[in-house]
Amino acid sequence: MSTSAPAHRPSARGGVLASTLAWARTGASVSLVSAARAAGITKAGLMYHFPTKEALMTAVIDYLLDGYERDLAARLATTNPNVPTISERLAAYVDWACDGPFDYGDLVMFTDPRLREPLTERWNSRMGAWVDVPETLPADQRARLHGVRLLADGIWLNTAGNGIALSDEDTDAIRALAHHLIQENS
């Protein structure tokens, strides 16, 4: 039986992303140094995977959004998960936002003013696939569906930012209202 070491070391990339996001969840500022410390590696080791803070933060956003998308996909009530309708996508989004939990780490795209624009662009391009309301729908239906998205966005932001908490009863009532708006004349 051979006990030789593998030809290469496994990548620490996933661990770096997880630890950087965990660090951001504390509300602390993320830098290359703090991310390296959180991951238990040197700054040079971190920069092997992420040569700039923008590269690191973009990867953290993608890591976070990968988890969101898995959770959203699991919530789809559809016979064709490859092509969910806007109603199905928004229903999943509402339930996801109402169920949480979210914290400061979920707001990571806003943490560095210099990176806010590219990080929110990345965020919008990925989350837009879930919440984009087609312009081809009638204006009143578009308005209702945009309202549903903004209800869910508000709950998400309020929870992530540790805003004034809603009771479970109020959250359930908002969820029911959103689902009613989705189904109305769908």
Q: What is the pLDDT of residues 97-149, one digit of tens each?
A: 999 899 999 999 998 999 999 999 999 999 999 999 999 999 999 999 999 99
**Helix (H) or strand (E) run with residue 106 in it:** none
Q: What is the DSSP letter of 10?
A: P
Residue 172 burial (CB count, 10 A): 12
Find the largest Cα–Cα distance for the chain: 70
Q: What is the pLDDT of residue 9?
A: 52
**Count of C-beta atoms within a 10 Å radius of residue 72:** 21
In angstroms, the CA 131 to CA 92 distance is: 10
Peptide linkage before 101 cis (omega within 30 of 0): yes
Question: What's the whole-number average pLDDT of the chain?
Answer: 91
- Residue 147, judged by CB atoms within 10 A of its CB (0-12, 13-18, 19+), counts as middle
Of the listed ranges 78-82, 86-90, 111-115, the least confidently predicted one is 78-82
* Topology of the domain comprising 13-183: Tetracycline Repressor; domain 2 (1.10.357)
Rounded to whole angstroms, the Cα distance separating 135 from 19 reads 40
Please, are residues 89 and 131 in contact by the beta-carbon 8 Å criterion? Answer: yes
What average pLDDT does this structure show over 153-177? 96
* In contact, 111 and 29? CB cutoff 8 Å: yes
